[in-house]
Amino acid sequence: MAKPFLLGVLGGMGPLATLDFQRRLLDATPAQSDQQQLPTVVWNVPQIADRQKALAGTGPSPLPQLIHGIKALNQAGASYIAIPCNTAHHWYDALSEVSEAPILHIVDATLDALAQSVERPQRVGVIATKGTLDAGWYQRRLALQGIEVVTPTEEELAQWFVPGCYAVKRGALVEGGALLSRQASALFARGAQKLVLACTEVPVALEAVNAPFLHLTWDPAQALAERCSHLWQSQGVFNR
């Protein structure tokens, strides 16, 4: 007998982004009852070492703690694992090696969704941590779709993105939203027609300030939630 479907969520990076992802899972699933909602087990442990500092060489690697979380989710019976943190995908290969359950990749989910989008902008801005930008995941995949990418400057990251991101982490959503809105406006000013919000704390902050350009954004957390929901729906739960 096949084991029951169970989605594992490796969260805590940050904890609010994880809660937001759980809400998106509910929104993405057309359930008519509790029993049709996507079953999840969530590892929302915020004590995982800072990913941005680790990649900058100013803090310890989070990999041992990430592996611990992955193993806990596997022990809980996860069928698949989602990680609602873009920067943590720097350790994706190492985590996949120790996980029995397949780990869904947030970039794959996002770019697959964009490829199916009716709208085909010529220039797309990417808001993300320096670690995610340096990895080039989004830039390479967007380029393969013939899309020119606009990214933040070092000065913008220091003035707006980093303090905006950390404002969200300490619960100052309006402050974070104001700073991240300035980052977004700078990318639009340089020709971006749409933005990829490639840090899961950015949508939370922009929604907190009702940013007027949200309709011009793509949200990787939403794409990942929809991928998870489709996997759940493929189990035939709505046909029973």
40 φ, ψ (degrees, to nearest 5): -135, 155
Provide the annotated active-site residues. 85, 199
8 Å CB contact between 87 and 201? no
8 Å CB contact between 200 and 129? no
H or E element in which residue 130 lies: helix 130-135
91 φ, ψ (degrees, to nearest 5): -105, 20
Q: What count of other Cβ atoms lies within 10 Å of the Cβ of residue 240?
A: 7
Query: Can you say whether the dihedral through the CA atoms of 239, 225, 98, 6 is positive or negative?
Result: negative
Q: DSSP assignment, residue 194? A: E
Q: DSSP assignment, residue 157? A: I
Cis peptide before 125 (omega within 30 of 0): no
Tallying the residues shown for the chain, one arrives at 240
8 Å CB contact between 12 and 18? yes
Helices (H), 3-126: 15-28, 51-56, 63-75, 92-98, 106-115
CA angle 63, 6, 229 (to 5 degrees): 95
